[in-house]
Structure 1
Amino acid sequence: MKRTMTTPDYLRLVASLDNLDRSIVSLLQADGRMPFSRIAREVGVTEKTARTRVLDLIEQRVMQITAVTDPSVLGYGSAALLCMTNRPDRPASEIARQLQNIPSIDYVVVSASHFSLFAEVLCRDRAALQATIENEVGKIDGIQTIEIVPYLSLHYQLAHFAAAQNKAPSETGVRPREIDGMDVRIIRSLSEDGRKPFLQVAEELGVSEGQVRLRFKNLSDTGTVSVIALINPMSLEFRSMAWVGINVAAGHSVKDVADALARLANTTYIVICAGRYDILTEFICQTDRELLDVIDQSVRSLQGVARLEVSIYSNLFYKRLSTIRDEAISDQQERAGA
């Protein structure tokens, strides 16, 4: 079974963005397909300047505009968070640079916690996941221990960081939903380039532009996909970030606790897991004080939370997911949305 997967570079962390770039990124985090003409009006520059700034940010790998969705739509059937410690003679930052070169790893964290490194691994299936851990991660010199936290279900993600910080009651984020084959193909096309014209998508898929436009609106409205500007949060001054591993008390529903976490401000990512934790949640804040308040006042008080473990980020390497292309996809699946 032949499989190919592109491996784009990680999003580059920049010390700071100027006010214009920050404003443009903020608009594209809210709507990655916003026309250049509207961006120009919103930030008070010419359309040419807005276009140049956006293209420069993309070319410099500061941001990518893509479709954020359930990874299974892109072909990833198995995922896990690897929680690792390093030997004292090998700095965690050096190991992180090696981890980020593994194609199946999309997210690497250097942490000041019980675990010094975290890496999110996404693969086609469990066999590929196990092979990645054994043949690639496990062979990196300096890793002392690896604890695998398998994902059972992606529950929630919200890569629009300002919306996460000031979460509206109506905010639903992106969640897994049942979709047909044509919807899958539309999302996969936009994952390559979130600003790709609908006409081009339609021509690729052999359908009308109107059908693509209507389907995309429905996918967006239902929270199945969101086309936004992805950027390393630390480039936007969200410098206080943490994984929070949660164990749910007996007699309480893991999904109910995950739903409650999704409603909290500053929550950007929630997975239901097996292993050490029942739930893994990512929080993104601007200051340690803000992070402390969220954890102490909001998370600890949630009904059903029995225990939590906080792992503070020291550094983050982050890239967008590319579609796993499998030439053995059945004709039946391809025809499902035709």
Structure 2
Amino acid sequence: MDSVTLDSLDLELLHALQLDGRAPFSRVAEVLDVSDRTVARRYERLRAADAVRVAAVTDSRRTGHAEWLVRLRVLPGGCSAIAHALARRPDTAWVTVASSGTEIACIFRVTDGGPAPLEALARHPQIRDVDAHRLLRHLMDRRWLGRTSALTAEQISALRSPAPGDAAPVPLTDLDRRLLPALAIDGRAAYPALAKQIGWSESAVRRRLEELRRSRALQFDVEVDPALLGFSVQCLLWLTVAPSRLTTIARSLTADPETAFVGATTGAHNLVAIAVCRDADALYTYVTDRLSSLTGIERMETTPITSYAKRAAPAS
């Protein structure tokens, strides 16, 4: 990624796209009180520098998929190649390198009821250990505040995407299996380009995308390195929580500005969170002051995130 510095307009643009990843630049420009050309130029600059990407993210609950959170402990030197191989798989939604290159955490999306494809991973000569947990539920319904704090309440109201419609499960079609990977790469791809790329008519692509958005089976996330926003430390928090306190503690975590994701899982660690902090001192304060004050956390493991091979989901 080229060196990039974000100014106030960039931050407003990123917040706007987080509210509606496919909002026309003309609409964004009107709310931000700048020209269409300025908004388009700013976005293209960030895209060209590989600093920002709008990616489509499906909601597994509505597409009939299960999510498995998998931890791989890897021999030194093997992490990068394994992480990038996992990132190229269509059934992975999130791949991160942690613990200074000796661990990988990723999410597999599989047909509901099916297991995560762990057998091949366990046979890999550079993987020492494989630990899989079913991700039972996403418990955080807002975005990380570090990238959604640039706009006023009035601007947010003007840009927020339409309210969802029917929340019933949405069976994926042959069109979806072509469309969704294309949108995961570029969530702002124009309809004519999408139609040409996947070999369907523009009208069919437009209609199906609108249906998926209306049902909330498809959302759009803005991928941006928190370091560009002044947050240099990210950490996975593996928490073992008393069952009677799980909901209360999860609710407390989702209200914290440091939190980017909270989910309930199977296994010894029944709650997992991602904390994003200004620096190591801020993470220390969050862990020792904030988390230690929550009654019901019986055990906690912290795993520093060092890099991402694939970002989309959890939608932080």
Q: Is this a same-fold pair by TM over 0.5? A: yes
Residue 125 of structure 1 is matched in structure 2 by: 112
Residue 87 of structure 1 is matched in structure 2 by: 75
- Write out per-residue CA displacement over residues 17-43 of structure 1, whole angstroms, 9 at most, x where no aligned residue: 443544432332344344423544666
Amino acid at match of 1:145: D
- Write out per-residue CA displacement over residues 283-334 of structure 1, whole angstroms, 9 at most, x where no aligned residue: 122322222222222222112211111111111223436xxxxxxxxxxxxx
Whether 2:254 is the aligned partner of 1:266: answer no
**Structure 1 unmatched runs, 5+:** 1-12, 167-176, 322-338
Given the two structures, how large is their TM-score scaled by the length of structure 2? 0.70
Pick aligned residue for 2:299 from 303, 307, 310: 307
Residue 61 of structure 2 is matched in structure 1 by: 72
Deviation for aligned residue 1:183:
11
Distance of aligned partners of 1:226 and 1:78 in 2 relative to their CA distance in 1, 3 Å threshold: closer
Amino acid at match of 1:315: S
Residue 160 of structure 2 is matched in structure 1 by: none
Range with greater deviation from structure 2 (44-53 or 295-304): 44-53
Distance of aligned partners of 1:105 and 1:236 in 2 relative to their CA distance in 1, 3 Å threshold: farther
Deviation for aligned residue 1:247:
0.8
Whether 2:134 is the aligned partner of 1:146: answer no
Residue 29 of structure 1 is matched in structure 2 by: 18
Distance 2:111 2:228 in 1: 30
Secondary structure of 2:140's counterpart equals strand
Q: Report the aligned-residue RMSD.
A: 4.2
Pick aligned residue for 1:98 from 85, 89, 95: 85
Distance 2:119 2:38 in 1: 48
- Is residue 15–residue 235 contact of structure 1 (8 Å, CA) maintained in 2? no
Deviation for aligned residue 1:151:
1.4
- Aligned-pair identity in percent equals 20
Secondary structure of 1:276's counterpart equals coil
Deviation for aligned residue 1:82:
1.5
Deviation for aligned residue 1:160:
4.4
Residue 285 of structure 1 is matched in structure 2 by: 277
Matches within 5 A, 1:1-338: 15-19=3-7, 21-40=10-29, 46-55=35-44, 57-58=46-47, 62-66=51-55, 68=57, 70-75=59-64, 77-88=65-76, 90-112=77-99, 116-127=103-114, 129-130=115-116, 132-135=117-120, 137-162=121-146, 179-180=167-168, 192=183, 204=204, 216=214, 227-249=220-242, 252-320=244-312
- Number of residue equivalences: 283
Distance 2:34 2:10 in 1: 12
Secondary structure of 2:73's counterpart equals strand
